[in-house]
Amino acid sequence: MDYRIKEQAGFSPKIGELVSMLDYTRAVTLADVEGLSIEALDYLADGQSNSIGALLMHMAAIEFVHQVITFENRDLTQQELEQWLVPLELGDKARSAIRNHPLDYYLDELKKVRDHTLSLLESVNDSWLYEEGQYDHGVVYNKYFLWFHVVEDETSHRGQICMTKRICQNNKH
């Protein structure tokens, strides 16, 4: 694992640094879930928690949404909402709907979304990161911040994954 944020071949300098951050974040996530069984992926620490599988799908969903917002400058279509709403929102629906999948299922979803992100990022330059938008409630953002949020969200949920994994392992004894 590389512990340096640096430019990456095939990307403009700042985009490459962002890719470096995305790659590191994902590498740590993958290391944390390596070898988990369906039982561990579906484990719920309590009635309000999310399973590791649901959190992995949430990571894919957040990244997909940010692709749409930053590259297509639009909201999700009805079809996209139907596909991604449950993992986006998590909670009760995710606790019942996102279950019984092996780790490879989640890893494949994460990889599909990430591969598309990387192909999209190859097509833009550093100035794209600073392009601004505005939410309906008036808050201004730039695309760099939105992609920082993708990293931040995965990191945050990885903490939940580690706690859930630890509780699951402790409850097996």
Digit-coded pLDDT (tens) for 121-156? 999 999 999 999 998 899 999 999 999 999 999 999
CA of 113: how far to CAs of 17, 59, 60, 136, 139, in Å? Answer: 19, 10, 6, 26, 27
Tally the C-alpha atoms within 13 A of residue 49's C-alpha that lie toward its C-beta: 19
What is the pTM for the complete model shown?
Answer: 0.95
**In the chain, which residues have pLDDT < 50?**
173
**CA distance linking residue 147 with residue 67, whole number of Å:** 9
Give me the pLDDT at residue 95, please: 96
**CA distance linking residue 132 with residue 151, whole number of Å:** 19
**CA distance linking residue 155 with residue 21, whole number of Å:** 11
Give me the pLDDT at residue 97, please: 97
**CA distance linking residue 112 with residue 107, whole number of Å:** 9
Determine the topology of domain 13-171 in CATH: Four Helix Bundle (Hemerythrin (Met), subunit A) (1.20.120)
41 in Cβ contact with 52 (< 8 Å): yes
Give me the pLDDT at residue 173, please: 46
